[in-house]
Amino acid sequence: MEIRQPIHSAHAKTLDTTGLREQFLVESLFRADEAVMTYSQIDRIIVGGVMPVTKPVTFSPELGKHTGTDFFLQRRELGLINVGGPATVQVDNRNFEVGAREALYVGQGAKVLEFRSTDPANPAKLYFNSAPAHTTYPHKKVTLAEASPETLGDPKTSNRRTIYKFLVPDVLPTCQLLMGMTQLQEGSLWNTMPCHTHDRRMEVYFYFDMADNGAVFHMLGEPTETRHIVVRNEQAVISPSWSIHSGVGTQAYTFIWGMVGENQVFKDMDHVPMTTLR
């Protein structure tokens, strides 16, 4: 498991391209038959991907050495969204069928976690976020139809997009984790512009649905000290609470956002006036 330390905004603004990428970009999330994880000490979120191809992938009890617990989810909750082919996810003695663009919430305390692809030729890609948890809420699959959708933006400003809120209080209870997926309409390129920060929550963006030669220029930094990172298909960016998180692509794309921190109020954002940005 790769560890990322927290970062102060004053340090971040001194970084060059390599430094920004080392601090904020998660370059690789899917490797065949493996669980790949990055542990950010910002609110202790774990960002990962599981891609079972030739055999099931299991979260072994040894993962607990990274969290100082007997097993991985002893004091954590986990949410995943499938961006690949259909999967079966075993959680203790239950099996959940998780299709493309469906989510699964796994509550604190689940000991057995095993992931299988239905078709090795079309493997599942299970992108997940996990956060410290204080109590157990029921495991639950959430379909796209159950996610609470909101369409925002305008083709005139190239930011028409639909936000599917999978793991939010209107859909199910979680301790702190919020997750959803934002899909840009064809011809729209901008996400989250006008932009915002939320000092009370950190966020992770995972970009996908992109051509191999496509790119998203992800904007980060304090509103008056913006920087960018060039993000490729199926890469993620860690966004500290003090940072904006916005992007513009070379074509339409989709991204998954996950948030943890002080509250679960999606609209709790500090909106940044366009004229403030530097």
Ligand X SMILES: O=C(O)C(=O)C[C@H](O)C(=O)CO
Residues binding Zn ion (CB under 5 A):
203
Residues facing 77 on adjacent strands: 131
Tell me the closest approach of the beta carbon of residue 269 to ligand X, in angstroms. Answer: 6
Look-up of token digits 């909101």: 150
Q: Retrieve residue 10's tokens.
A: 């004053």
Residue nearer to ligand X on the CB measure, 176 or 192: 192
Interface positions, 217-256, toward ligand X (CB under 6 A)? 245
Give the H or E element holding residue 229: strand 227-231
**Coil, strand or helix at 23:** helix
Measured CA to CA, the distance from residue 23 to residue 15 in angstroms comes to: 9
Residue nearest to Zn ion (CB): 203
Q: Please, which residue, 57 or 260, has the CB nearer to ligand X?
A: 260
Write down the least CB distance from residue 4 to Zn ion, Å.
19
Is 198 annotated in a binding site? The answer is yes
* Choice between 117 and 191, CB closer to ligand X: 191
For residue 77, state whether it binds ligand X (rule: CB under 6 A): no
Q: Is 245 annotated for ligand binding?
A: yes
Task: Decide if 85 contacts 100 (C-beta within 8 A).
Answer: yes
Residue 161 binds which one of ligand X, Zn ion, none, with CB within 5 to 8 A depending on kind?
A: ligand X
Cα–Cα nearest to 88, from 52, 54, 112, 59: 52
Residue 218, judged by CB atoms within 10 A of its CB (0-12, 13-18, 19+), counts as buried
- Interaction residues for ligand X, span 169-188 (CB under 6 A): 182
CB closer to Zn ion, 57 vs 260: 260
Query: Between residue 257 and residue 276, which ones bind ligand X under the rule CB under 6 A?
Result: 257, 269
Residue 160 binds ligand X (CB under 6 A): no
Phi, psi of 9 (to 5 degrees): -60, -30
What is the closest distance, in whole angstroms, from the C-beta atom of residue 181 to ligand X in the complex? 8
Q: How far is the CB of 208 from Zn ion (least distance, A)?
A: 18
Nearer residue to Zn ion within complex by CB, 140 or 165: 165
- Per-position DSSP letters for 121-155, written without gaps between them: TS---EEEEEEE-SS----EEE-TTTSEEEEE--G
Query: Reduced to 3 states, what is the DSSP secondary structure of residue 104?
Result: strand
* Residue 22, phi then psi, degrees to nearest 5: -65, -35
Does 66 carry a binding-site annotation?
no
User: Would you mind telling me the total number of residues written for the chain in this entry?
Assistant: 278
Which of 40, 174, 176, 191 lies at the binding interface for ligand X (CB under 6 A)?
A: 191
For residue 205, how many C-alpha atoms fall within 13 Å in the half-sphere facing its CB? 28
- The pair phi, psi for residue 144, each rounded to 5°, is -60, -40
27 is annotated as contributing to ligand binding? no
Q: Judged by CB under 6 A, which of 133, 142, 163, 248 binds ligand X? A: 163
Q: Which one of 74-82, 130-138, 167-175, 190-198 is the stretch in contact with ligand X (CB under 6 A)?
A: 190-198
Annotated binding-site residues for Zn(2+) read 196, 198, 203, 245
Annotated binding-site residues read 196, 198, 203, 245
Which residues of this chain interact with ligand X, rule CB under 6 A? 161, 163, 182, 191-192, 198, 203, 245, 257, 269
